[in-house]
Amino acid sequence: MLKSLTIRDFVLVDRLELEFCAGFGALTGETGAGKSILVDALAFVLGERADGGMIRAGAERAEVSAEFAPDASRVADVSAWLLENGFEDGGELLLRRVLDATGRSRAYVNGSPATVHQVREVAEWLVDIHGQHTHQSLLRPDAQRLLFDAQAGLAELAARVAAAWGRWREVRKKMLASAEGAEALAREREQLAWQVRELETLGWSAEEWGALNAEHQRLSHAANLVEGAQFSLDALAGDDASCETRLDAAEARLDALAEFDPALAEIAALLQSARTELAEAVSALRRYADRLELDPQRLSEIERRIEAVWACARKYRARPEELPGRLEAWRERLAALGEAADMEALQRRVAEAFAEYEALAGKLSAARVRAAKRLGAEVSRTMKQLALSNGRFEIALPPLDEGASFGREQIEFRIAGLAGSESRPLAKVASGGELSRISLAIQVVTSQAASVPTLVFDEVDVGIGGGVAEVVGRLLRELGKERQVLCVTHLPQVAARANWQWKVARNGGSGGVSSSVAALDEAGRVEEIARMLGGVEITAITRQHAREMLGLEKSAY
């Protein structure tokens, strides 16, 4: 729902901050006061076309901000859209648009720069404006189809049809690609098969690479390792001059001298510990030397293996450890090419996928025919209450020769009886007032299924009055139970039905002409309804009538 609208230097508006309520709200005021300017400002921030004439005289730029609390049914969609487009998601949605004197505008979503196209995208979930200055989804064929399917309870079946269409298109694309590129695919299969055989013959694994290099390192330095081990053994325990012999002699001498100075006993004990550790080191070194052997044949085998791996890696421009991954990818691609090469199997899959689509689309078409008659009759009955007694609402289902993702037919809202008996698309209905009332009838009938939470009606009361005006007010009030409804109106019968009411006034002064908006309390509403009833001179009788219309006193109304 729309929570607030902030307007700066837009047409006749100097500064204006509005807080909106739920339910049905009426915007009233004298002709020329600027009621429709509020609608234009909202359309502007929602991405409608802009020009320099929208900037208030004497100002450098115009700015409009709108804050929304997304409808519960759309919170997930709006959140996903915000994240997908890189905007922050704080639970609410703030749209802002600035227009400078050159006619260039800048848009923002939750404080971050955005394109006007992005603003229009998210606005489709937020507001529909009905009237001559429209931001109206009901004129779009895709919106008509979605609304119709939702109202008829066919949204899930339509989604299944779209999924079946996608599967058929995908497998058909594979079949056509296979047929058109059979020779190229055959060459690719042959090359891949050869590459796979080569790597399978190599029998290479990433784990082997580390172990092979470690063994090569050891064998290639075996002579140095043997020589070093033997040299160390000779130095530690080889003869009378070795470390072991000298350490024994030093310990024995200090033991003998400790009789004369006990302090030497502690040093002798340290030498004894060192002699023990030295003996362990000598023993471990002998075991290591016994295991060492020169194996030039094994070394040669390993070097040939390593060279073969490197040759294969260079050939395919990869690291040796990457070759197993390449092999797996080639196997998968080869399997896919084998499937693509089986033209008969592909043709069967295409036929099966299309048969599935045809069955679901046929079921959807039959359900749409039944629903179209029902919805057409319901909207037509509502139109008759809105001074459109000659009008008839129809839902045409023109067939598509090849089908589409949404089924075997288009969905087209049509009107007959308003300008001759010929049925015409809703988008071609000329009168703005008629179009608004037709839209109102559709919205009332489909209010449970439609998903846009805020509806704005401008000029729905053009060319009507009396009892029809009362019906319009009643219908808007009913619609306000389901959604937020804003209506610009000149009719007291409509305004009196509103849950809340604003008065738009035009003010003049040294700073120029400007428009202002005041929220009306109970007394203010009585005065405004009385003005709408009686014109310039407001009498006690018109005030009494206004109170009756507002339900403040007993009345037949």
- What is the reported pLDDT for 158? 94
User: 6 is written with which tokens?
Assistant: 């902030």
Q: Which whole-number Å values give the CA distances from 129 to 416, 488, 540, 548, in the listed order?
A: 23, 11, 37, 31
Asked if 492 contacts 471 with a C-beta cutoff of 8 angstroms, the reply is no
What single string gives the DSSP state of each residue in 310-355?
HHHHHHTT--GGGHHHHHHHHHHHHHHHHHHH-HHHHHHHHHHHHH
- What is the reported pLDDT for 135? 44
**Cβ neighbours of residue 208 closer than 8 Å, sequence gap 6 or more:** none
0.85 exceeded by pTM: no
432 against 88, higher pLDDT: 88
Pairing of the two strands 412-416 and 392-396: antiparallel
**Cβ neighbours of residue 269 closer than 8 Å, sequence gap 6 or more:** none
The per-residue pLDDT of the chain, averaged, comes to 82
Instruction: Compute the distance between CA of residue 450 and CA of residue 150 in angstroms, rounded to an integer.
Output: 7
3-state secondary structure of 536: coil
Instruction: Compute the distance between CA of residue 79 and CA of residue 70 in angstroms, rounded to an integer.
Output: 9
Pairing of the two strands 93-100 and 61-68: antiparallel
- What is the reported pLDDT for 331? 83
pLDDT bracket for residue 71 (50, 70, 90): confident
Angle at 263 between CA 257 and CA 266, to 5 degrees: 95
Burial class of residue 239 in the structure, from the number of CB atoms within 10 Å of its CB (0-12 exposed, 13-18 middle, 19+ buried): exposed
- What is the reported pLDDT for 61? 92
Q: What are phi and psi of 127, to 5 degrees?
A: -140, 145
Asked if 3 contacts 19 with a C-beta cutoff of 8 angstroms, the reply is yes
Instruction: Compute the distance between CA of residue 452 and CA of residue 444 in angstroms, rounded to an integer.
Output: 13
- What is the reported pLDDT for 506? 82
Residues counted in the chain: 557
- Check whether 133 has a pLDDT greater than 60: no
* Tens digit of each residue's pLDDT (9 = 90 or more) over 452-479: 889 888 876 666 777 888 888 888 898 8
Cβ neighbours of 124 (radius 10 Å): 16
- What is the reported pLDDT for 411? 93
Domains in the chain, ordered, with CATH?
A: 1-126+452-520 (3.40.50.300), 188-339 (no CATH)
- What is the reported pLDDT for 224? 61
pLDDT bracket for residue 555 (50, 70, 90): very low
25 against 345, higher pLDDT: 25
- Check whether 134 has a pLDDT greater than 60: no
Element (H, E) at 293: none
What single string gives the DSSP state of each residue in 155-177?
HHHHHHHHHHHHHHHHHHHHHHH
Rounded average pLDDT over 71-76? 76
Residue 111 zone, left/alpha/beta (φ > 0; ψ -120 to 50; rest)? left
Asked if 415 contacts 379 with a C-beta cutoff of 8 angstroms, the reply is no
- What is the reported pLDDT for 2? 92
Lowest-pLDDT choice from 12-16, 510-514, 543-547: 510-514
* Tens digit of each residue's pLDDT (9 = 90 or more) over 6-47: 999 998 888 889 999 999 999 998 877 778 888 889 999 999
- Check whether 130 has a pLDDT greater than 80: no
3-state secondary structure of 539: coil
3-state secondary structure of 49: coil
Rounded average pLDDT over 338-364? 84
Asked if 439 contacts 451 with a C-beta cutoff of 8 angstroms, the reply is no
Instruction: Compute the distance between CA of residue 193 and CA of residue 338 in angstroms, rounded to an integer.
Output: 11
Rounded average pLDDT over 305-317? 81
* Tens digit of each residue's pLDDT (9 = 90 or more) over 86-111: 898 878 899 999 999 888 999 999 99
* Tens digit of each residue's pLDDT (9 = 90 or more) over 141-163: 888 898 889 888 898 999 999 99
User: What share of residues in the chain are helix, strand, coil (percent, to 5)?
Assistant: 55, 15, 25
Instruction: Compute the distance between CA of residue 82 and CA of residue 159 in angstroms, rounded to an integer.
Output: 23
316 against 291, higher pLDDT: 316
